[in-house]
Every structure is written in structure tokens, then in C-alpha cells.
Amino acid sequence: MATGRLFISLDAIAANWQALDRLSGPHVETGACVKADGYGLGAAAVATRLAQAGVRRFFVAVAEEGVALRKALGHGPEINVFSGHMDGDTEALRDAQLTPLLNSIDQMLRHVEALPGHAFGIQLDSGMNRLGMEPAEWAALREIAEAEKPTLVMSHLACADEPEHPMNAQQLQVFLEMTQGLGCPRSLAATGGTLLGPALHFDVTRPGIGLYGGLPFEAARPVVQLDLPVIQVRSVAPGETVGYGNTFTATRDTQVATVAAGYADGLIRAASGNCALWAHDVPCPIVGRISMDLITVDVTDVADMPTHLTILGAHQGVDTFATAAGTIGYEVLTSLGARYDRHYS
């Protein structure tokens, strides 16, 4: 089989949620963000396991994701849609019983006219300038919105992964001012905000990346292991080159393994030459460029060549690989391709 094996621990995801739930505190509901197909790991499988662990409130990016999630979860859990009520979403929101997080006056009007009495939440812009109603817009709409009883009023922190960043305190103050006296649940914290402490927890936290083993949740249990099959091993003499652009030149007699995966599978080309694969406990540096479907690896120091080499696992997590590629763990996870043979446990 010439496809990589992606091992996904649903139990680790559930354990990470439970740990973040404990950090959120006994009087705070802990939801779960499963957008982008469960951060690339399969929203249906991830959300089903999280529902078994106790999650009753999920968050997705768009209505289409919510429809697929409703099919997996059935009736009961609340599914919130960050993009709100877009033009063309009405039927999906109604039929799948999704809760849009309304981002503007236009969305509010569309929602109450198209789906009177249907549940909704509100997203506020506390300073990130991305999604949500700005203070003046919210002030004009607040009385009407309160009368309709939103299920949640939320905002999103821009710098929660930097605990000392002054933006965190600034956004907290703005959010407090915008929501003072509201009689509905409030939410400000995703993973980073949850780690910042109780002042940012409010009524609902909504962790995302921390569930999947990523930073800034340093205590998270690892969730993924990715093993890549070895297609061929060849001898490369000193002075010979490997891969596109001749970017690697052997300086010794070198054994080079070619494995079946590449940037088409989410293994970002920029990591070329900056990290390794692993044969058990032996590091095997990437040599030459990561190409679309293949990676070449120096296995000279491997005594007994295994059938697969590990690129994500105990020795190199998603954030370590991401650093080598000049990006973040989120991008690595959400880029993992469809060609992998996925195993859930």
C-alpha cells in the first residue's frame, strides 16, 4: 500500500477536552470547535466522540459544515455557525436546526424575517476587526436582539496565544462594556483564552486547537501519528544530488529512502531540509525538496529499515513540524490530505 497511515486518537481528543473543561471551571460550559472537518481529522468521528464525552455545544465555520455535523450527531447538541446567516443559508439553518452567530444588522434582519423564532447567537467585534458587530452597530441593535433572546453572545481574542499581550486586556474590557447586564450566556475564550484564566471564561468556552494536541495547550495529549510508506531505498555516492533543483549533494555514501507523501498531502514544501522523519528512535533528515507526492530521506544510519517512517508522532509533533515549515500547527492539521489511510482509536 503506497498511502500513508494516519493514526488519530479520539480518546486523546476527548481527554484534551476534559482537561480544558476542568480549566474552564465547574460553572462554565465547555463547547468544542470542530470547523474545517474537525481541524482536518474528520468532524463526524471527532464530534461523535466529544458528544460521548459530554459536549453539548459545537462550533463550525459555515452552514454547510453544520448540516454535515447534524447528520453525524443527530438531534440534541447545539451547532453554532460562525459565519452567521448568509444569503442562501435559510433552508440549511432551518432543516438542520443550526444556530447562526449573527455578525451584522443585515444578518439580524435576514434572520428574524426568514426564520422568526429560530435560535440565534450574536458575534461582537471587540477589536479584532474580522467578524462581528462593532460597538456602535451593537448599541443600535442590542435592545431588539435582547428581546429575541440570543442563545449566546460571543467575541474572539486576537492575541490569546500571547498571555502578556495588552490586546487581551483591551478586548476583555471592550467585551465587558458591550455585554454588561445581558441576560444570556457570553463567550470570549477559545483554547488560548481558556488558558488565560477565569476572567475570560464567562459562561461558555469553545476550545479548538487544544483539543487536537496543538499549541498553546502545552499539556495536551498528542492526537496524531503519521507513518509514510517507503517505496524505494537507493545508494547515492558522494557528489551526487537528490531531488528537484539539486538542492542536496551527498558528502558521503548515503542511503536515501523515497517515501510516498508530499505537499499534496499537507506536508508543506517549506519544511524541506529543516526536519526529519523517524525510524523508531533514529532521526532521518529530509534531503532535497519535498515534492508533490514524494519525500526523500537520509536513512544511512538506520540499521534495520522499516516499511514506514514516521513524520508526525512522539518525536515530532504538529507544531514542531510546523515550525520547520515556517507556519503553525493549525495549517499542518487542516492540510492533511485525503489520501491517507485513516485509523481511529
Catalytic positions are 35, 244
Per-residue DSSP letter, 98: -
Question: Helix %, strand %, coil % for the chain, to 5?
Answer: 35, 25, 40
Do the beta carbons of residue 161 and residue 216 sit within 8 Å? yes
Q: Which residues are CB-neighbours of 159 under 8 A, at least 6 positions away? A: 165, 167, 168
CA distance 195 to 217: 7
Do the beta carbons of residue 149 and residue 184 sit within 8 Å? yes
CA distance 323 to 161: 15
Look up residue 122 and give its amino acid: I
Look up residue 99 and give its amino acid: T
From 220, 218, 222, 230, select the one nearest 345 (Cα to Cα): 222
Per-residue DSSP letter, 340: S
From 68, 287, 304, select the one nearest 81 (Cα to Cα): 68
CA distance 138 to 179: 10
Question: What Å distances lie between residue 305 and 252, 253, 297, 328, 343, CA to CA?
Answer: 19, 17, 12, 31, 23
Q: Which residues are CB-neighbours of 244 under 8 A, at least 6 positions away? A: 288, 289, 291
Which sign does the torsion angle of CA 133, 155, 45, 98 carry?
negative
Which cell is 148 given? 429575541
